[in-house]
Amino acid sequence: MKKEMKVIVTSMLAVIILAGCAKSSEPKESATASVVPSASTSTVATPMNLNIFYFDAAGLFKTDLPIFKKATEKTKVTLKNVAPSSGDAKQAYNLMLASGEIPDIISYNLSDLNNLGSQGALQPLNDLIEKNAPNFAKFLAERPDVRKAITLADGKIYTIPFVADGSATTGWFVRKDWLDKLGLQAPKTVDEYYNVLKAFREKDPNGNGKKDEIPYFNRLANASVPLAQTNELLPLWDSFYSFYIKDGKLAFGPSEPQYKTAMGNIAKWFKEGLIDPEIFTRQKAREVLLGGNTGGSTHDWFASTAAFNTSLQKENPGLNFVPVTPPASQGGKVFEVGKRAILGGSGWAMSAKTKDPAAVMRYFDFWWTEEGRNMFNFGIDGDSYTMVDNKPKFTEKTLSQTPVLGYLVTNYGAQSSGMGAWQNFAYEEQWTNPVALAGIKEYQDKKYISSDYTLPSLNFTEAEQKRINEIKPKLDTIIAEMGQKWILGAADIEGTYQSYLDNLKKNNLDEYIKINQDAFDRYNKK
């Protein structure tokens, strides 16, 4: 049972961190908050019960956990989750809508909630925010990027989002112990990186007399993205796996000229044994390859990757896996594409039929007070954290847990990313490995993190979203299938690249780009 719970918690953590996280792929304008919520508490006049739809197959969202009990004390609102505790999220959501019984609060992805709002099933929040949510209104006034992201084309707001904090997410990692053994320096360019990987492959840095080193490896961090395991290499040749901003417009990486160059080089590296031969199928690549002293380099999350320096010391005592400056690309640019998106992708909204919209909004606003934000991020004052110099600091009891995030989620209800709340990077900073913190500081201080590769949260009309849902899966399939063929050597990129482009166009690539560009233009006009 403990093993099963650990798996569940780990899965939930991935959702929570990537919600913030998404390399999405989410703002993360700074590592610390710049907007300070009001200390005022939003309360409801009389006790009331509110039904909430919060699908949680992992069983981690429980309204009887400490932060929700404390919120009830402060606001007089008690939540009751009416979502099923098993099954499929989309199916549960659709069944809830089909029943016609929309609960007071719905926690779900912002895109679907916005479409539901456009259909008249949700309460527009603009006036309610101004009249009943002083803390959230203050936040929006100081964060126009968030206001723009949640405002639809008709000017209406239907959702209170999960807003992430911090900017740095991912970086390049190299085995410094191997560099030192071979007398090498950290690579500064893509060519130097290639030479380092070649040396890792050919010069036996692990010293076991076998040619078993795997110079570059990666893991499946996002199953919804085609070729997720090799996409991290694309920027070395100034390419990208999705939309990015180029000269003020959107460009779609997999159809741009430099994508061919990048994929050709990745295929070359794979053929030369510089890339994990099992990169598309290997489970737990970091644990296996670092623990077995065969993995040399990767591009991944700072906190979780640096943590292996501690957790694998027994298996690999000399392990020194450190973040390095992004190697300059073929075009001479030193940049990092990983940046936390502004919104975590989820949040909550209220039914158009809720009996007391103002009271619901006041409850929403509680989580944007200083007290509410601290509860959401750190748990309970005097228990999981204490205030030191007017800043929340985790107690030793909390910091001694592994992982800290799992402990907060399961024991306090903190960091539930389906809520409309504002993350505080300080919660993560306090338990992050010093090696990771050093990498984060370098990437932020030296401004390596590019904003061109993390789009703002775009809102689509119902018709646009329908077409995206029809077109995107087909494009993803083409990109994934041809990409794997090129990398694995099953197809020659020179002889098939034009037919690949033709196939993308045949499957409505131009329409897909236009839909996203139109949404991007609307965002910029807000």
Let me know whether 177 and 326 are in one domain.
yes
The answer to whether the pTM exceeds 0.75 is yes
Percent of the chain with pLDDT over 70: 91
- 242 domain-assigned: yes
**Predicted pLDDT at 174:** 99
Q: What is the pLDDT of residues 39-55, one digit of tens each?
A: 455 566 689 999 999 99
Q: What is the pLDDT of residues 12-29, one digit of tens each?
A: 333 343 333 333 333 333
- 481 domain-assigned: yes
- 350 domain-assigned: yes
Say if residues 121 and 93 touch (Cβ distance below 8 Å): no
Q: What's the DSSP call for residue 455?
A: -
Q: What is the pLDDT of residues 142-172, one digit of tens each?
A: 999 999 999 998 899 999 999 999 899 999 9
Q: What is the pLDDT of residues 178-229, one digit of tens each?
A: 999 999 999 999 999 999 999 999 999 999 999 999 999 999 877 889 999 9
**Predicted pLDDT at 42:** 59
Mean pLDDT of the chain: 91
Let me know whether 333 and 415 are in one domain.
no
Let me know whether 122 and 203 are in one domain.
no
**Predicted pLDDT at 139:** 98
Q: What's the DSSP call for residue 208?
A: S
Let me know whether 355 and 397 are in one domain.
yes
Task: Look at 172-176, 458-462, 521-525 and tell me which has the smallest mean pLDDT.
Answer: 458-462
Closest CA to 232 of 276, 204, 188, 266: 266
Backbone angles phi, psi at 242, to 5 degrees: -145, -155
**Predicted pLDDT at 331:** 98
Q: Is 264 helix (H, G, I), strand (E, B) or coil?
A: helix
Let me know whether 332 and 356 are in one domain.
no
- 412 domain-assigned: yes
Alpha-carbon Rg for the chain, nearest whole angstrom, is 24
- Which band of pLDDT confidence, cut at 50, 70 and 90, is reported for residue 402? confident
**Predicted pLDDT at 17:** 38
- 35 domain-assigned: no
**Predicted pLDDT at 61:** 87
Let me know whether 180 and 304 are in one domain.
yes
Let me know whether 235 and 328 are in one domain.
yes
pLDDT of 379 over the 90 cut: yes
The residue among 309 and 38 whose pLDDT is bigger is 309
Let me know whether 188 and 122 are in one domain.
no
Instruction: Report the CATH number that the domain containing residue 83 is assigned in CATH.
Output: 3.40.190.10
Instruction: Establish how many alpha carbons lie within 13 A of residue 124's alpha carbon, considering only the half-sphere containing its beta carbon.
Output: 10
Q: How far apart are the first and last CA of the chain?
A: 50
Say if residues 15 and 345 touch (Cβ distance below 8 Å): no
- 22 domain-assigned: no
- 13 domain-assigned: no
Alpha helices in 20-88 (DSSP H): 66-75
Give the torsion sign (CA, 160, 165, 167, 168): negative
pLDDT of 1 over the 50 cut: no
Amino acid at site 162: F
Instruction: Label residue 149 exposed, middle or buried (CB < 10 Å: 0-12, 13-18, 19+).
Output: buried
**Predicted pLDDT at 11:** 39
Helix (H) or strand (E) holding 10: helix 2-19
Helices vs strands, H then E, count in the chain? 22, 13
Q: What is the pLDDT of residues 467-486, one digit of tens each?
A: 999 999 999 999 999 999 99
**Predicted pLDDT at 235:** 98
Give the torsion sign (CA, 325, 328, 334, 335): negative
Let me know whether 218 and 327 are in one domain.
yes
pLDDT of 30 over the 50 cut: no
Let me know whether 205 and 305 are in one domain.
yes
The stretch 252-269 carries a mean pLDDT of 99
Last residue of a domain, one of 372, 406, 423: 423
- 416 domain-assigned: yes
Distance CA 122, CA 152 (A): 13
Alpha helices in 20-123 (DSSP H): 66-75, 89-99, 110-118
Overall number of domains in the chain:
2
Distance CA 214, CA 3 (A): 29
Q: What's the DSSP call for residue 392?
A: E
- Which band of pLDDT confidence, cut at 50, 70 and 90, is reported for residue 34? very low
The residue among 338 and 8 whose pLDDT is bigger is 338
Q: What is the pLDDT of residues 361-378, one digit of tens each?
A: 999 999 999 999 999 999
Let me know whether 250 and 194 are in one domain.
yes
CA 482 to chain centre: 26
Closest CA to 128 of 46, 45, 42: 42
Q: What domain range is 150 assigned to?
A: 48-166+341-423
Q: What is the pLDDT of residues 439-457, one digit of tens each?
A: 999 999 999 999 999 999 8
CA–CA distances in Å: residue 506 to residues 92, 270, 315, 475, 493: 34, 30, 51, 10, 19
For 510, the token pair is 């131009």
Let me know whether 489 and 396 are in one domain.
no
